[in-house]
Amino acid sequence: MDFTFNEEQTLIQGQVEQFIQKEYDWETRQKLSNSDLGFGEKNWKTFAELGWLGISVSEDNGGFGGSAIETMLIMEEFGKGLVVEPFLETVVMSLGLLDRYGSDQQISDVMSEVINGKIHLALAYAEPQSRFNLSDVVTEAKKEGDNFIINGFKSVVMNGPVANKIIISARTSGKQMDKKGVSLFLVDSNTAGLTKTDYKTVDGRRASDINLENVTISNDSLIGSLDKGFGLLDEAIDRSILAISAEAVGAMEVLYKTTVEYTKTREQFGTPIGKFQVLQHRMVDMFMEYEQCKSLLYMATMKNEEGSLDAKKAISGLKYQVGKAGKFVGQQSVQLHGGMGVTDELNVGHYFKRLTTIGTIFGNADFHLKQYTSL
Amino acid sequence: MDLTFSNSDLSFRKEVVAFLEEEYPSDIKEKQDKRVPLEKEEIIRWQKILHGKGWFAINWPTEYSGYQDLSVTEKYILQEELANVNAPTMIPFGVGMCAPVIYSFGTDQQKEKYLPSILNSDVWWCQGYSEPGSGSDLASLKTKAETKDENYLVNGTKTWTTLAQHADWIFCLVRTETTEIKQEGISFLLIDMKTPGIEVKPIITIDGSHEVNMVYFDNVEVPKENLVGKEGQGWNIAKFLLAHERSGIAGIAALKRELRRLKDLSSDIQLGEGTLIDDPQFRSKIEETEIELTATEFTELRTLAAMSHGGSPGAESSILKIKGTELQQTISELFVEMLGYYAHPFYLENELGSNETVGPDYAAPVMPHYLNFRKVSIYGGSNEIQRNVISKAILGL
């Protein structure tokens, strides 16, 4: 049993921490989030230069061969800075999947471009009716000669607006809910018949709804084997849950600490409100929720990394806890900041909003409690 | 003890339903149904329609409203039917807050000057209570009103002033004297928003809306005749008013409508083989909320019944404030949960109702509503303060 990080991991954590402190003050973050692009192009280049974009990619495919621990550390720091750059979407969700299952052609097309910060990716897995069920896929891909023709609709595709290539789940056989018969395709976002409606999301990020009408792509766009995309997708989402949970842990740390500091300085009835026992206990609960999430995060990340049999159960347990704790910590941070907590000006409300979307993304607490029970 | 409605209650309900079918403007209804924020003109138009029927200032003594008096049950029926069609909620600052102070503490001249225009919704009032340094500890307020000839000279800052951007007048708590006991130096003052030296600055909230404001007073001259009650009586007036504010704060009828809507919408959302409402976890949250809501409804009815026999809403109104706001937050949260990913696309206030939205047509206002409702456990005396009130005033701790 060892909960310490190795030298390289400590180094990268320090690097990201320093980036947030030096380049990512609150005002800058808001400017980036409110810009047309929604994040900093320059920051993305920095990520590439520092090697963060390829850190968890295998060495065979041109990466640094890092583990999930590195991703966790990066995401936790990003959570503290409420970073809007789409590291989760491009790197964790999509690149990780291609690194493991992409064909040689796909890897040579995409890998170095992403690692060098030149292109973006997105993973389109949700549909209007699917809620959190990854195998509920109506979008259809039909084989025709050397091509597949895709028809359907993908909802709330995070990082959709800037993604040059999109991994799309589509049904190639079976019934609507069947796991077998789901296939994954790597599709250029400028392919004819693919239309995006782009929008801002409540956490200050960007997403798209994607309509697919007779989108014709060649056979070699298939990722992995036909009808067997579900397992690949499921694994990618598990890794993404670990990453987004790390982000949540970072965000919760900032929130509980900010709230504690605020209640030390805000005076009402002639005394700092942090002296009131009812608020002290509330903050103790916030702190404990954060610690509990962190414990499950470390546990689940290591289990997944080791390929442990109960890793999936651990990941659902983590996501349940993150959903529950994120809501509590977010809501109470707002409450304890009083009116200031609901202003757009203060960062607290924005952390709360991100924790709110994290609570839903990849399945909410109810969903993962059910998963946990079934595993 | 009797829960049944009398025949006259039933015919009153029919009258209300018929009135709403006839008089509720379709353009306002359309916006309300889409949950799009209303313009000032639309709110005023609707309040005038209600006033025309004698159903606007229903809590005023009839000598001031000129209305036919409604029984507690009739008021309950009226609120319920108004909520059923999702009619706009009245803006309380004039009719529900300032007016009761004026007819309870004001002079005859003040009653004559201010009440008719409130009744007609010709003058829009806002509330100048909180200050940057005075939230839960309202009595620590610092806005000063010093005597200068025939006037008060007002200096200070008010904050969280709801809809001050629309307001013609503001009622303020100001400090007329620095006293040992801070509550004793506070007075209740009416100020014309057009007076030189007043500046209103918007505060944008996390839902992206402009609802609240900062109001700055820089050497604002206010005639002494605008003082309500006596100098130093402001704190008692404020306490009287806060109890009034809290008793209407639960908004039970609207909550019942929203919970029904939640059930209806979630029965249409496909989930696996069934619909979302069949999901045991989601379902049990709805049921728990419904039970809590029913309990709160009857707590309110018991309070109202006691008031109609001459009681005044005291610390009991704190129960309604806490329970009502917790329910508002829970239900708005369940809407977010219901939507899943489609709660995330985000539009600003002025974009709502346009065709830009993605997802189900009811989706866009859901998240802003949830975010906006974080305020309800903070305003009107935070829920922590309300629990203090109950523990002191009812439990004697």
Note down the domain range covering A149: 122-227
pLDDT at B186: 97
Name the stretches of chain B with pLDDT < 50: none
A2: in domain: no
The B residues from 345 to 364 touching A (CB cutoff 8 Å) are 345-347, 356, 358-359
3-state SS class at B281: helix
Q: Note whether residue A332 is domain-resident.
A: yes
- In the three-class reduction of DSSP (H, G, I as helix; E, B as strand; rest coil), residue A341 is classed as helix
Could you tell me if residue A80 is inside a domain? yes
In a domain, A1, yes or no: no
pLDDT given for residue B250 in this prediction: 65
CB B335 within 8 A of CB B352: no
- Give domain status of residue A321, yes or no: yes
Last residue of a domain, one of A104, A120, A136: A120
Question: Residue A107 maps to which CATH number?
Answer: 1.10.540.10
ipTM over 0.85: yes
- The reply to whether A203 touches chain B by the CB within 8 Å rule is yes
What are the residues whose beta carbons fall under 8 Å from the beta carbon of A126, sequence distance 6 or more? A154, A155, A156, A157, B341
Rounded to a whole number of angstroms, the distance from the CA of A303 to the nearest CA of chain B is 28
Residues A102 and A198 in one domain: no
Asked if B286 and B327 touch (Cβ cutoff 8 Å), the reply is no
Measured in degrees and rounded to the nearest 5, phi and psi for residue A182 equal -95, 130
Chain B interface test: which of A33, A129, A131 (most B C-beta within 10 Å): A131
Query: pLDDT value at position B273?
Result: 85
Cα–Cα distance for residue pair A317/A297, rounded to 1 Å: 9
Q: Are strands B270-271 and B144-148 parallel, antiparallel or unpaired?
A: unpaired
CATH number of the domain that residue A306 is part of: 1.20.140.10
Based on the domain organization, do A335 and A362 belong to the same domain? yes
Task: Sort out which chain B residues have CB atoms less than 8 A from A361's CB and list them.
Answer: 341
A244 and A217 inside one domain: no
Clarify whether residues A246 and A362 are in a common domain: yes
Residues in chain B closer than 8 A to A202 (CB atoms):
343-346, 367, 371
- Name the residue among A1, A77, A39 with its Cα closest to residue A200: A39
Q: Nearest residue of B to residue A282 by CA position?
A: B384
Best to test chain A binding among B341, B348, B371 (most A CBs inside 10 Å): B341
Six-digit token string for B369: 């509503």
- Is A114 at the interface with chain B, CB within 8 A? no
- The pair of structure tokens assigned to B380 is 């009107």
Q: Are residues A342 and A249 in the same domain?
A: yes
What's residue B352's pLDDT? 64
Contact of B123 with B169, CB cutoff 8 Å: yes
- Interchain contact, B336 vs A200, CB within 8 Å: no
pLDDT in tens, B165-191: 999 999 999 999 999 999 999 999 999
- In this structure, the answer to whether residues A171 and A50 fall within a common structural domain is no
Looking at beta carbons, which residues of chain B come within 8 Å of A330? none
A61 plus A188 within the same structural domain: no
Count how many residues are written for chain B.
397
Total domains in chain A come to 3
Whether residues A252 and A347 fall in one domain: yes
Per-residue model confidence (pLDDT) at position A283: 98
Q: What is the pLDDT of residue B355?
A: 54
A chain contacts of residue B279, beta-carbon cutoff 8 Å: 366
A340 inside domain: yes
In this complex, the residue of B130, B337, B344 whose CB is nearest that of residue A156 is: B344
Tell which of A168, A202, A227 closes a domain. A227
| Last residue in a domain, options A63, A92, A120 | A120
Q: Residue A179 domain-assigned? A: yes
**Cα torsion A124, A128, A133, A135: sign:** negative
Q: What is the pLDDT of residue B247?
A: 53
* The pLDDT of residue B3: 80
- CA–CA distances in Å: residue A90 to residues A94, A144, A161, B195: 5, 30, 12, 56
> Cα–Cα distance between B74 and B61 in angstroms, integer?
15
Indicate whether A347 and A235 sit together in one domain: yes
Q: Answer yes or no: is A108 within a domain.
A: yes
Q: Domain check: are A202 and A142 in the same one?
A: yes
| Chain A, window 235-254: residues with a beta carbon less than 8 angstroms from a chain B beta carbon | none
Nearest-angstrom CA–CA distance, A95 and A362: 17
Cβ-defined contact of A364 to B337 (cutoff 8 Å): yes
Please tell me the predicted confidence (pLDDT) of residue B347.
83
| Nearest Cα to Cα of residue A267 among B142, B101, B17 | B142
Chain A residues with CB under 8 Å of B159 CB are: 339
To 10 degrees, what angle do helices A41-49 and A7-23 make?
A: 160
Q: Looking at the structure, do residues A219 and A236 belong to the same domain, yes or no?
A: no
Residues, chain A:
375
Sites in chain A below the pLDDT cut of 50: none
| Three-class secondary structure of residue B218 per DSSP | strand
Q: Does B208 touch chain A (CB under 8 A)?
A: yes
pTM of the predicted protein model: 0.96
Q: Both tokens of residue A110?
A: 């995409």
Kindly state whether A342 is in contact with chain B, defined as any CB-CB distance less than 8 angstroms.
Answer: yes
Tell me which chain B residues have a C-beta less than 8 angstroms from the C-beta of A201: 344-346
Same domain, A70 and A93: yes
Nearest to A263 by CA among B384, B141, B207: B384
- Give B388 to chain A, closest Cα distance, Å: 10
Binary contact (B135, A128; C-beta < 8 A): no
Q: Considering only CA atoms, which of B342, B211, B359 is closest in space to residue A202?
A: B342
Report the distance separating Cα A247 and Cα A245, nearest Å.
5
Distance from CA of A47 to the nearest CA of B (A): 27
**Would you state the pLDDT for residue A5?**
93
- B201 touching A, CB under 8 A? no
Contact A296/A249 with Cβ under 8 angstroms? no
Spell out where A248-360 has E strands: 267-268, 271-272
Where residue A219 sits, what CATH number does that domain have? 2.40.110.10
> Residues near A78 by Cβ (< 8 Å), separated by ≥ 6?
A16, A20, A85, A87, A247, A250
Q: How close does chain A come to B178, measured CA to CA in Å?
A: 16
Query: What integer pLDDT is reported at residue B308 of this predicted model?
Result: 73
Which of B135, B276, B347 is opposite residue A268, by nearest beta carbon? B135
